[in-house]
Amino acid sequence: METFEQIWESSRTNSLSWMYPAATWCGAGILVALSVIKNRWLRRIGKLAAIVGFALLATMLSAQEIQEKWRLRREWAELHPAQMTEDGFQALTVDGANLTLGPLIYGFQAFLLFLGIAVVLSILRALIISRRKDTIADPDDDQAHTEIDARFSDNPYHPPNVPT
């Protein structure tokens, strides 16, 4: 037979525990996918919407997970009142801050995670674009160095602006 302490620990991971990590991984994947959009404003608006939307989704899913955890504990306590100690009953009633602050903390954590991912992806995008611009030679620059201005040529028959 299980004790309340065992139920307390085993209820930390319940049937809804997979949803919060799934939301954070999906949000991170969506942010990576949005990074390849060429239109700057569409990319920024998409990332902002994804950050806010997935942070809210993570908050709601963590609230459901925490409520399930407390429901399992409460049901076990109601079914086994003889095995409950005074500390067990007190833990069920006193630790209610987890129900209200837990989802907010998890939601803020997800928001910061998504924001950090978006910043890192933006920095990587800027580095890749600047490196790409450095490696691609501008054809106008090459022609500017090879062209001869007819005003400065000693040859009167040399056509203007023709590379030598």
Give the 3-state secondary structure of residue 137: coil
Predicted model pTM: 0.73
Q: What angle do CA 138, 119, 47 make, to 5 degrees?
A: 95
Under DSSP, the state recorded for 138 is P
- Report the length, in residues, of the chain: 164
Q: Quick one: which of 102, 99, 111, 100 has its CA closest to 23?
A: 111
93 burial (CB, 10 Å; 0-12 / 13-18 / 19+) is exposed
Q: Are 16 and 61 in contact (CB under 8 A)?
A: yes
Give the bridge partners for 147, in sequence order. 163
Report yes or no: 23 and 16 within 8 Å, Cβ to Cβ: no
- Kindly give the confidence (pLDDT) of every residue in the chain, 164 residues in length, as a single tens digit, with 9 standing for 90 and above: 688 888 888 888 888 899 999 999 999 999 999 999 999 999 999 999 999 999 999 999 999 999 998 888 888 888 888 888 888 888 877 766 778 888 999 999 999 999 999 999 999 999 998 888 877 755 555 555 555 554 566 776 766 666 55
Contact present, 14 and 68 (Cβ < 8 Å): yes
Which of 116, 115, 104, 110 minimizes the C-alpha distance to 20?
110
How far apart (Å, rounded) are the C-alpha atoms in residues 107 and 86?
33
